[in-house]
Amino acid sequence: MTDRAPQPVDRQLPTEESRDLLALVREIAQREIRPKAAEEEDSGRFPREVFTLLSEAGLLGLPYPGEFGGGEQPYEVYLQVLEELAAARLTVGLGVSVHSLACHGLAGYGTKEQQGAHLPAMLGGGLLGAYCLSEPASGSDAASLTTKAVRDGDDWIITGTKAWITHGGVADFYTVLARTGAQGPKGITAFLVPGDAEGLTAAVPEKKMGMKGSPTAQLHFDGVRVPDARRIGEEGQGFTIALAALDAGRLGIAACAIGVAQAALDEALAYALDRKQFGHPIADFQGLRFMLADMATKIEAGRALYLAAARLRDAGKPFSRQAAMAKLFCTDAAMSVTTDAVQVLGGYGYTADFPVERLMREAKVLQIVEGTNQIQRMVIARHLAGPETR
């Protein structure tokens, strides 16, 4: 890693409070998160204590109402916080985004009693959440999920397997989508399941290409009993709840992608200014200058796109199409920028002595999670041309 600390990004922030917030996040990121990122990603250590610290600093509930312990920040501010965290370490930025996704259902569709009972601990009480939609045989076609919840008096009994769950096995609560009715999207209901529920076990985490510090695991529900008071929304409303969370979550992924890309550009630029060949810093050569210019342009364009979508959301306007566009563009930009960063560093870029190879491996997952980029294109095309008629 280069010793030079990256220059702060020139951000547009709406208030003095949000500028102070970003300064605090940047300080935590540079002091507590970035220095351990390479070593812990290599060893696969999950930094649970960082999430506790973020919760204590009020950073795990930023876009949620103050009434229940949230930070009441606009989405445009929350996303820039995520970007800073992801630039320091994707496991943390994406982890906060997933936690926020897991809180979305209860915050948006829970009753006041449920919100009062659970949200304060979820948003600022040190708890960590996970979001359970995917299954071994149901990924992009999420509405085909088969994990079942069957009514038993005042309880539900959940049985089935969820797959690819970020924080699987380490989370304190799980927002779980399960089938309570007929096939298809209308037969799905959402539940808030405690992490220590009897009958709930996590498999050994997946061995992944990157983000090795973030546990991704299958979860087995073997007759897990959940009171009806933990059902979120109406019976059959689960898929609507899941998709609403994903619209907001996709913006989180977009912001994380720009954080990863920015970190890669910062490394590439510092290296190019330092490394000499043919008697000159390699940053003098037009071939690399143009590459750096293109990288920076993609990052600025991506940031502008996710912020435009966030501002629509903050204004209470529809933003689903723009969220899909931001997720698609920003994650493709991150893949391209991190790949170019490896190129700028030459052979050194291909080694673990510099972070750019890790950033390139991390960028890849962002094109897959919360709807692959093929699925984002389908969403965008449906907004443009309506549903497919074939």
Ligand X SMILES: Cc1cc2nc3c(=O)[nH]c(=O)nc-3n(C[C@H](O)[C@H](O)[C@H](O)COP(=O)(O)OP(=O)(O)OC[C@H]3O[C@@H](n4cnc5c(N)ncnc54)[C@H](O)[C@@H]3O)c2cc1C
Shortest distance in whole angstroms from residue 263 CB to ligand X: 18
Q: Which stretch binds ligand X (CB under 6 A): 161-169, 221-229, 250-258, 262-270?
A: 161-169
Q: Based on the shown chain and the rule CB under 6 A, indicate whether residue 365 belongs to the binding site for ligand X.
A: yes
Is 368 a residue that touches ligand X (CB under 6 A)? yes
- Beta bridge partners, 140, equal none
User: For residue 178, what are the β-bridge partners?
Assistant: 189
Shortest reach from residue 176's CB to ligand X, in Å: 10
| Three-state secondary-structure class, residue 327 | helix
Closer to ligand X by CB, 99 or 313: give it.
99
Nearest to 93 by CA among 228, 205, 259, 229: 259
DSSP conformation letters of 63-120: TS-GGGT-----HHHHHHHHHHHHHH-HHHHHHHHHHHHHHHHHHHHS-HHHHHHHHH
> CB-wise, 177 or 265, nearer to ligand X?
177
3-state helix, strand, coil in the chain (%, to 5): 55, 15, 30
- Alpha-carbon distance 88 to 260, whole Å? 8
Among 9, 88, 98, 241, binds ligand X (CB under 6 A): 98
User: How, if at all, do strands 231-232 and 188-194 pair?
Assistant: antiparallel
Q: Which stretch binds ligand X (CB under 6 A): 22-30, 51-59, 131-139, 338-346?
A: 131-139
- Which helix (H) or strand (E) element contains residue 202? strand 200-202
The answer to the question of residue 134 lying near ligand X (CB under 6 A) is: yes
216 interacts with ligand X by CB under 6 A: yes
Instruction: Give me the least distance between CB of 291 and ligand X, in Å please.
Output: 28
Q: How far out from the chain centre does Cα 182 lie?
A: 31
Residue 252: Cβ within 10 Å count: 30
CA 27 to chain centre: 21
Could you say which of 268, 369, 379, 380 contacts ligand X (CB under 6 A)?
369
Closer CB to ligand X, 73 or 376, in the complex? 376
Quote the CA–CA distance of 254 and 329 in Å, as a whole number: 8
Which CB, 18 or 147, lies closer to ligand X?
A: 147
Reduced to 3 states (helix: H, G, I; strand: E, B; else coil), residue 36 is helix
State yes or no: residue 243 binds ligand X (CB under 6 A). Answer: no
Q: Return the amino acid letter for 129.
A: G
| Residues 99 and 81: beta-carbon distance below 8 Å | no
Residue showing the smallest CB distance to ligand X in the complex:
139
In the three-class reduction of DSSP (H, G, I as helix; E, B as strand; rest coil), residue 199 is classed as coil
By the rule CB under 6 A, 114 interacts with ligand X: no
Question: Does the footprint of ligand X cover residue 133 (CB under 6 A)?
Answer: yes
Residue 128 found at the interface with ligand X (CB under 6 A): no
Nearer to ligand X, 45 or 276 (CB): 45
Could you tell me which stretch among 84-92, 125-133, 260-268, 275-283 binds ligand X (CB under 6 A)?
Answer: 125-133
Contacting ligand X (CB under 6 A), which of 164, 221, 271, 319?
164
- Catalytic residues, by residue number, are 370
User: Is there binding between residue 362 and ligand X (CB under 6 A)?
Assistant: no
Is residue 41 involved in binding ligand X (CB under 6 A)?
A: no
Q: Confirm or reject binding of residue 166 to ligand X (CB under 6 A).
A: yes
- The residue ranges that bind ligand X (CB under 6 A) are 98, 130-134, 139-140, 164-166, 208, 211, 216, 365, 368-372, 374-375
